[in-house]
Every structure is written in structure tokens, then in C-alpha cells.
């Protein structure tokens, strides 16, 4: 009898322990920061990625999303990314240039023939080497390819000072993100460049601090820029993607299975980005035209021609990365 009671008691304890262990397993939570409104196309796609990660991992990895720069501006978030208090930060790859300055040339204005040319350039050993430097020196890795997410899908200038030619654009007070190459390029083109945070653009245009801002077309309506700058000019400055930056130690510390699940979620989100971004751009543009916004697609051949001297001068001064223009030329379609 005692033996039976002991067996029952042991079985009960083991069952309880097993159940308790199961209940005690908690999902790993990663923090994902970004600067966009949650209802913008990019904000929605970032949340789509977070939802897909949770789905693919069976809820064992959760991405908690913080939009609208809630966790700080770029520099602050990049520091948090390095130490691991932020785990994912999607932004243009050029934002990593503080550790690999040559990365700024991945967004060289008026240099790439089209998006396909840019994608091929981004796959060269030159660019792969820059990204490897980032991981080794800054401890920041990328989830997937920075070209997979279609951002834009094209770039425009939103301005209260309309222009149709390069000459008419001269003197435009242009808001710029903190990028020395982009600022120098637009000064070369004749604009007056002023560096401002993305979230300060609307008020700065309305107060006359700047006249214009360059933006992916899909973000113009969510940011309401057209309310203070009713001219949208497509200039296709450069193709854009999105680098999903992550803490390298945490990323590499995941199991092969877990990384594969996250990459699968990333691939589905990237495919969705191309469809949604184009659809939203067309819908938003139609809606903005109904509000008396003027949209134009001027010939930018003069911009490309003016920039040829810019890159030539940089090359002669030794200011371009070694092999950069060769990589640009070799990645052109034959």
C-alpha cells in the first residue's frame, strides 16, 4: 500500500513539475524601433514583419514595435542597437556610415541607371566588405538583404517652390538628413541644404525655414507634407531599400532554426513591400491630386550630367572608395 501511494505521489509530482516547466517557458521579446507613423505604409510593413516573426516562431520570439522615434533619434537608437537594448532598427543602409563611411555611396544621387543596376551593385564584393566591417567593428548585422524591401517605390521632392528644370531648382532650401554625401551632392546641384530631423520637416516648411524635402513618394501623404508644400516632383534621386539592422551577438546567438524562421518572415514582408508600396503610392498620389497637389516628372538628364563632374572631381581628389566607380560600371547591364 505504501509502495502504491509513493508511486502515485511521485507521478503527481513529476506531472506537476513538467506542467510547471511548460507554463514557465516565456517568449523571448525583442524591441524594434523605427521613426515612421504606425499607420504609414512602412509602419504597417514593420508591424507585418513583427507579426510574421511571432507566427513563424510559434510565439517563441516576439517583436515589440516602437514607432515615431519613441526610443530616440537615429544616433540614440544605433547606440541601443549596439548594446542590445534595441534589437531591430529598419532604416537606409547609409545610416551605418559612422562605422563604415564608404556606405554613404550606396545612396549616391543620380548615379545608378535604375533599381536593377543598384541591386547588382549592392551585391558586389565591395559592398559586402563594407557590411562585414560594420559587423566586426560595430557589432551590428543585417537581417536579409538591404535591397529586398522596396522603399519608395521612387523618390520625389516635395516643395512649395515648384521647378521644372535644374536652373529653376537653384536656391531651393532643402531639408536633408545627416548625410555628408547627399548634402554635398545637392549643394553641387544648386540647393541650399539644411539638416533637420524627419519629424521636424512639416513645421519647418510651414514656418519657411526650408522650402522642400526629398522623400519616398509613399511617405508624403502619411507625413502630410503636401499640406505645406503642394508640389511633388519625381526626380528618382536614387533607389532605396531598407537595412533591418540587428545586434550581431543576439542575431548570431539564435539557433539556425530560429534565424531561418526570422528570415522567412523577412522574405514574406519584403515581397509584400513591393506590392503594397506601389499600390499605396498610386492611391495616395491620386488622392493628393484631388487636393490640388501638382505632380510632375521633369527630365532629370541635366541633374545626371551635372553630377558627372561631381563624381569625377571626387575621384581625382581621392575621395571615392577604391574601386567604387569600377563596381558601378561593372554592375551595369550589358
Rounded CA-CA distance 229/157 in Å is 10
Residue 282 reports pLDDT greater than 90: yes
- The pLDDT value given to residue 10: 45
Closest to 255 (Cα-Cα) out of 84, 101, 28: 28
pLDDT digits (tens, 9 = 90+) for 20-39: 443 445 689 999 999 998 99
- The pLDDT value given to residue 47: 97
The mean per-residue pLDDT over the stretch 256-270 comes to 97
Among residues of the chain, what percentage have pLDDT more than 70? 92
Residue 13 reports pLDDT greater than 60: no
Residue 317 reports pLDDT greater than 70: yes
What are the DSSP calls for 52-106, one per residue? HHHHHTTTSEEEEEE-TTTT--HHHHHHHHHHTSS-EEEE-GGGGTTTSGGGGGG
Higher-scoring residue by pLDDT: 112, 18: 112
Class of domain 155-238+289-329: alpha beta
- The pLDDT value given to residue 5: 47
pLDDT digits (tens, 9 = 90+) for 72-104: 988 899 999 999 999 999 999 988 988 999 999
Q: Which residues contact 5 (CB under 8 A, 6 or more apart)?
A: none
- The pLDDT value given to residue 334: 67
Rounded CA-CA distance 311/185 in Å is 9
Please report which confidence band the pLDDT of residue 7 belongs to, taking 50, 70 and 90 as the band edges. very low
Mean pLDDT over each residue of the chain, to the nearest integer: 91
Q: 82 with 140: CB under 8 angstroms? A: yes
Beta bridge partners of 216: 155
pLDDT digits (tens, 9 = 90+) for 165-180: 999 999 999 999 888 8
If one counts every other C-beta atom within 10 angstroms of the C-beta of residue 59, the result is 10
- The pLDDT value given to residue 3: 52
The mean per-residue pLDDT over the stretch 265-283 comes to 93
- The pLDDT value given to residue 219: 87
Rounded CA-CA distance 47/65 in Å is 7
Please report which confidence band the pLDDT of residue 228 belongs to, taking 50, 70 and 90 as the band edges. very high
Domain residue spans of the chain: 27-150+241-286, 155-238+289-329
What are the DSSP calls for 191-207, one per residue? -EEEE--GGGHHHHHHT
- The pLDDT value given to residue 218: 86
Please report which confidence band the pLDDT of residue 152 belongs to, taking 50, 70 and 90 as the band edges. confident
CA dihedral for 104, 162, 164, 152, sign (positive or negative): positive
- The pLDDT value given to residue 222: 87
Superfamily of domain covering 27-150+241-286: Bacterial extracellular solute-binding protein, family 7 (3.40.190.170)
The mean per-residue pLDDT over the stretch 95-116 comes to 93
Amino acid at each position: 500500500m505504501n509502495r502504491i501511494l509513493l508511486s502515485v505521489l511521485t507521478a503527481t509530482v513529476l506531472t506537476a513539475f513538467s506542467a510547471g516547466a511548460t507554463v514557465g517557458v516565456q517568449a523571448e521579446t525583442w524591441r524594434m524601433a523605427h521613426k515612421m507613423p504606425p499607420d504609414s505604409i512602412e509602419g504597417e510593413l514593420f508591424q507585418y514583419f513583427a507579426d510574421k516573426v511571432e507566427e513563424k516562431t510559434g510565439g517563441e520570439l516576439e517583436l515589440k514595435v516602437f514607432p515615431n522615434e519613441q526610443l530616440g533619434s537615429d544616433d540614440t537608437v544605433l547606440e541601443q542597437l549596439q548594446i542590445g537594448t534595441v534589437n531591430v532598427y529598419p532604416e537606409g543602409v547609409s545610416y551605418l556610415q559612422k562605422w563604415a563611411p564608404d556606405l554613404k555611396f550606396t545612396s549616391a544621387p543620380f548615379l545608378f541607371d535604375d533599381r536593377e543596376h543598384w541591386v547588382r551593385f549592392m551585391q558586389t564584393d565591395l559592398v559586402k566588405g563594407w557590411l562585414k566591417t560594420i559587423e566586426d567593428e560595430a557589432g551590428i548585422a543585417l537581417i536579409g538583404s538591404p535591397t529586398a524591401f522596396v522603399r519608395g517605390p521612387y523618390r520625389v521632392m516635395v516643395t512649395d517652390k515648384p521647378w521644372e528644370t535644374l536652373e529653376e531648382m537653384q536656391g531651393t532650401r532643402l531639408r536633408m538628413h545627416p548625410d555628408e554625401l547627399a548634402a554635398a551632392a545637392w549643394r553641387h546641384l544648386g540647393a541650399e541644404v539644411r539638416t533637420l530631423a524627419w519629424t521636424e520637416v512639416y513645421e519647418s516648411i510651414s514656418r519657411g525655414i526650408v522650402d522642400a524635402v526629398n522623400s519616398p513618394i509613399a511617405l508624403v501623404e502619411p507625413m502630410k507634407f503636401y499640406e505645406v508644400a503642394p508640389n511633388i516632383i519625381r526626380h528618382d534621386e536614387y533607389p532605396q531599400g531598407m537595412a533591418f539592422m540587428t545586434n550581431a551577438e543576439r542575431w548570431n546567438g539564435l539557433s539556425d532554426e530560429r534565424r531561418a524562421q526570422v528570415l522567412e518572415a523577412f522574405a514574406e514582408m519584403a515581397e509584400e513591400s513591393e506590392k503594397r508600396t506601389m499600390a499605396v503610392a498610386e492611391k495616395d498620389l491620386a488622392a493628393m491630386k484631388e487636393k490640388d497637389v501638382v505632380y510632375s516628372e521633369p527630365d532629370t538628364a541635366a541633374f545626371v550630367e551635372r553630377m558627372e563632374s561631381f563624381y569625377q572631381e571626387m575621384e581625382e581628389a581621392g575621395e571615392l572608395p577604391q574601386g567604387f566607380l569600377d563596381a558601378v560600371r561593372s554592375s551595369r547591364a550589358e
